[in-house]
Amino acid sequence: MRAPTMRHLGDVIPLPASVRPDASADFRIPADVTVGAAPAAAAIADELAGLLRRATGFPVPRAGEGGSVRLLLDDEADGGKSPESYRLDIAADGVTLRAPTAQGLFAGVQTVRQLLPVEAAAEVVLPGGRIEDEPRFPYRGTMLDLARHFYGPADVRSFIDTIAQFKINHLHLHLTDDQGWRLEIEGWPRLTEVSGGAGTGIDGAGPGFLTAREYTDLVAYAESRFITIVPEIDMPGHVNAAQLAYPELTCDGVPVQQRTDPEVGYSSLCAGKEETYAFVEDVIRVVAALTPGPYLHIGGDEALNTTAEDYRTFLTRVLPLAGKYGKRAIGWHEMAAVDLPPTAIPQYWRIEPADDGVARAAAAGHQVIMSPADRSYLDMKYDDTSPLGLDWAGVVGVERSYDWDPADRLPGVGEESLLGVEAPLWSETLRSLADVEFMAFPRLLAIAEIGWTPRAGRDWQSFRRRLAEFGPRLAAQGVNFHRSPEIDWR
Ligand code: TNX
């Protein structure tokens, strides 16, 4: 007899690598359920106990290392497994979740969370069976554009909470652009005083910046959700806000006007001036010191007002600075036009393949992040009726977000060249967290599944059916998702 609220073992997004249901092993969660874990997994066990408490109304105390729901850390020696892998066994007498790392346990807890009913019920039953899971790609990301519109720490935290459920593990923050500079940089106070203050952002409507302290706290919060922050300082283009604050960063030293329009491609740092590199090195040093993660994004896109020679001069000098301060450089794919340091990662956003050096970089061993605008850009309109968004890369419905593969996108850049996928969300038309959520959800769930689920296991009809069940779940969390007509929402 199935409890009416019981979920199916495979009703998870992203779909796990292997799901083997066993109807004889359903776990009827008893009133005396306890959660046990090794001390190294205590925080994750606390989280799981909280989720069970909310779903059942039972007290769900923590139980040392025993308990009817147990989190086990396996020996790391378990050769070759992804640190994010986990195995979940649900049996009539309890649940065992095992993983080689805390990160894997966290991933498994997100799966358990989705197997609990949305609303508290008199009897909560977890579906019996075994899930064995690990990600296809190590990098599964999304991006917020804090430059065109600033979102404060509370909004970014809320976004982190939502995306972590879907095993997104990188959040790229686009911190600087023509319309604003959003991170305090020690020694360069005017960046945020002038370009983070009132009247900045698109239409002057998106002011604000992160203090170094707020940024540090945000990075730590993300880390507690197993999300790595990837900070971007965009250069040599997209720098009007920096030049407004420090006119010596222009070639002629003449002050620029403040810009709050969405135009791109007009500003450029001055490749021939030493002041440029003193500034850039200082910024990279400070951002690297504030960022524990391995990556620093240097932008490099749409430098339409920089000559090809200046672009090469600039990046050839700047890219090694990421390595000097202990980081791997990520840059938009335009940077592949120059000779890259061995660890540099191009992020591909083009619609049509072109001879832009990305395939050459992949052949030389560089990893690539796939973000094709016509599939993964969360700022594109869903359809012609979308109240928000742009359409230069076309309209991107949910099926279009889902039904493509990053390993097929660019000849010469196959599975083994991919670090992963990222869905960027630019802010030109957005004004609030509610707007961010409307554009990101549900499309980001499609990208999350592309990044996690084995290619052979993916299927649009299956995704569409599973996604329908997430309507009430997202609604219960207060997430402002788009009720796309492509989905038969519950
Ligand atoms: C292109 S894609 C940009 C951004 C815009 C975006 C709008 C890329 C690397 N740069 O400056 O915000 O289009 O969709």
Task: Name the residue ranges covered by the structural domains of the chain.
Answer: 18-133, 139-476
The answer to whether 314 and 302 are in contact (CB under 8 A) is no
Q: Stretch 427-455: mean pLDDT, rounded?
A: 98
Ligand 1, residue 428: give the atom nearest the CA. 12
Of the candidates 135, 123, 128, the one whose C-alpha atom is nearest the C-alpha of residue 4 is: 123
Task: Name the CATH code of domain 139-476 (choices 3.20.20.80, 3.40.50.80, 3.40.50.300, 3.40.1260.10).
Answer: 3.20.20.80
pTM above 0.85, yes or no: yes
Dist. CA 336–CA 481, nearest whole Å = 36
DSSP β-bridge partners for residue 235: 299
> Which positions are annotated as active-site residues?
302
* Pocket mutation for ligand 1, best pick of 177, 301, 378 (most atoms within 8 Å of C-beta): 301
Ligand 1, residue 347: give the atom nearest the CA. 9
* Ligand 1, residues at Cβ distance < 6 Å: 264, 301-302, 332, 349, 377, 379, 390, 426, 428
Tens digits of per-residue pLDDT, 133-182?
999 999 999 999 999 999 999 999 999 999 999 999 999 999 999 999 99
Rounded to the nearest whole angstrom, what is the distance from the C-alpha of residue 473 to the centroid of ligand 1?
Answer: 31
Q: Tell me 202's DSSP state.
A: G
Degrees, nearest 5: CA angle 448-452-454: 130
* Pocket mutation for ligand 1, best pick of 177, 239, 259, 302 (most atoms within 8 Å of C-beta): 302
Of the candidates 304, 429, 300, the one whose C-alpha atom is nearest the C-alpha of residue 377 is: 429
Q: How far is CA 157 from CA 42, 224, 371, 427, in A?
A: 22, 11, 23, 17
- Percentage helix, strand, coil, to 5, in the chain? 35, 20, 45
Question: 18-133: what fold?
Answer: Chitobiase; domain 2 (3.30.379)
Tens digits of per-residue pLDDT, 385-416?
999 999 999 999 999 999 999 999 999 999 99
Dist. CA 418–CA 151, nearest whole Å = 30
Dist. CA 139–CA 157, nearest whole Å = 20
Q: State the amino acid at position 114 in one-letter form.
A: Q
Ligand 1, residue 371: give the atom nearest the CA. 2
Which residue's CA is the nearest one to ligand 1's atom 2? 349
Which residue's CA is the nearest one to ligand 1's atom 9? 301
Tens digits of per-residue pLDDT, 202-219?
999 999 999 999 999 999
Chain-centroid distance, C-alpha 391: 22
Tens digits of per-residue pLDDT, 52-96?
999 999 999 999 888 999 999 987 656 678 999 999 999 999 999
The helix (run of H) or strand (run of E) holding residue 345 is: strand 345-348
